[in-house]
Amino acid sequence: MESSNLNLLKDLANEVYFAVHPLLGVKKASEIVGSGFCGDKTSLIDVIAEKAVIRYLRQNEITCVFFGEENGIKKIGKKPDFYIIVDAVDGTTNSLRGIKFVSASLAISKTKCFDSLESSVVINLYDGSIYEAERGKGAYYRNKRIHTSNIQELQESIISIDISGVPERVESVIPIMKKSKYIRSLGSAALEICHVASGKIEAYVDIRNKLRTVDIAAGMLILKEAGGTVLQLDGKEFIDNLLVSKKRFSIITAANNYIYNQVISSIPLP
């Protein structure tokens, strides 16, 4: 059952890839066509990507509750088998500008809660490479098992921080920027969390309270299965939260508890 869900997610990811890849960096894709379920502006590329997912689910008679950035909640079929949580373009700004760091994020959960996440896939929309995980079965990138970095010191670490659009919080990340060896800011939360999962970076930090469940659900399962740590800014797990929700989050994702503790202790209390 799990494997067929994972295969479904990979099929959906490839649908998005083929729909969206030709539009990356193309001007007309940036046309604003409305606003999404969570209130963010919707670009044409977002609509096309999410449509590709919903069309595939309908055509293949997959009975589920779909939850996406643009369309919100959609019940597909009569007796839904599971929830499917989708951000069909994660890193829309990058995709519109032609910055080659964009992903689609897809997760399946048995219930509407974070603690029931079963399978997830994050696909790099530039090259089609896939990060994937099933609960209890490890995480994989391009079909190879992945693990988080074993670096334990910030001074040796690459830390990615998203601080765009919240000038009042910039000061809060200065200590992390000063203590870390390398700072990155890449522009796609789902893909950055997968970079932590695969040992490419040691942490991804977003304290803006802007992330939605669709941005982080898939990456979180992949990161946990790769051995990483993911917590909210107050140190709480995500398990009690609803996946199908407009709630916004801050997130600290780290390769291990050593890095997590150094990151969290560097952030001044609000």
**Per-position x/- string for 74-113, each x denoting binding to a copy of itself as judged by CB under 8 A, each - no binding:** -------------------x---xxxxx------------
The DSSP 8-state label assigned to residue 173 in this structure reads G
For the bound state, the minimum distance from the C-beta of residue 199 to a copy of itself, rounded and expressed in Å, comes to 8
- The residue among 25 and 80 lying less far from a copy of itself, judged by its C-beta, is 25
Q: List helix spans (H) across 27-73.
A: 44-59
- The residue among 94 and 120 lying less far from a copy of itself, judged by its C-beta, is 94
For the bound state, the minimum distance from the C-beta of residue 14 to a copy of itself, rounded and expressed in Å, comes to 19
Identify whether the C-beta of residue 165 lies closer than 8 Å to the C-beta of residue 210. Answer: yes
Distance CA 237, CA 215 (A): 16
Candidates 10, 74, 179, 248: give the one binding a copy of itself (CB under 8 A): 179
Candidates 49-57, 168-176, 221-229, 260-268 — which segment interacts with a copy of itself by CB under 8 A? 168-176
- Phi and psi of 73, rounded to 5°? -90, 130
Identify whether the C-beta of residue 232 lies closer than 8 Å to the C-beta of residue 264. Answer: no
The reply to whether 145 sits near a copy of itself by the rule CB under 8 A is no
Distance CA 94, CA 76 (A): 31
For the bound state, the minimum distance from the C-beta of residue 195 to a copy of itself, rounded and expressed in Å, comes to 7
Residues 43-62 that bind a copy of itself (CB under 8 A): none
Residues 1-30 that bind a copy of itself (CB under 8 A): 25
Distance CA 90, CA 72 (A): 15
Distance CA 72, CA 60 (A): 20
Candidates 67, 126, 131, 249: give the one binding a copy of itself (CB under 8 A): 126
- The residue among 109 and 256 lying less far from a copy of itself, judged by its C-beta, is 256
The reply to whether 177 sits near a copy of itself by the rule CB under 8 A is yes
Give 42's contacts (C-beta < 8 A, 6+ positions apart): 32, 33, 34, 35, 36, 70
The reply to whether 147 sits near a copy of itself by the rule CB under 8 A is no
The C-alpha torsion from 139 through 255 and 227 to 209, rounded to 10°, is -80
Residue count, binding to a copy of itself (CB under 8 A): 35
For the bound state, the minimum distance from the C-beta of residue 105 to a copy of itself, rounded and expressed in Å, comes to 17
Residues 197-236 that bind a copy of itself (CB under 8 A): 198-201
Give 73's contacts (C-beta < 8 A, 6+ positions apart): 37, 65, 66, 67, 244
CB atoms inside a 10 Å sphere around CB 28:
9
Candidates 32, 41, 60, 127: give the one binding a copy of itself (CB under 8 A): 127
For the bound state, the minimum distance from the C-beta of residue 182 to a copy of itself, rounded and expressed in Å, comes to 4
Distance CA 172, CA 175 (A): 7
Strands 158-161 and 203-211: parallel
Q: Give contact residues for a copy of itself (rule: CB under 8 A).
A: 25, 93, 97-101, 124, 126-127, 158, 162-165, 167, 170-171, 174, 177-187, 195, 198-201
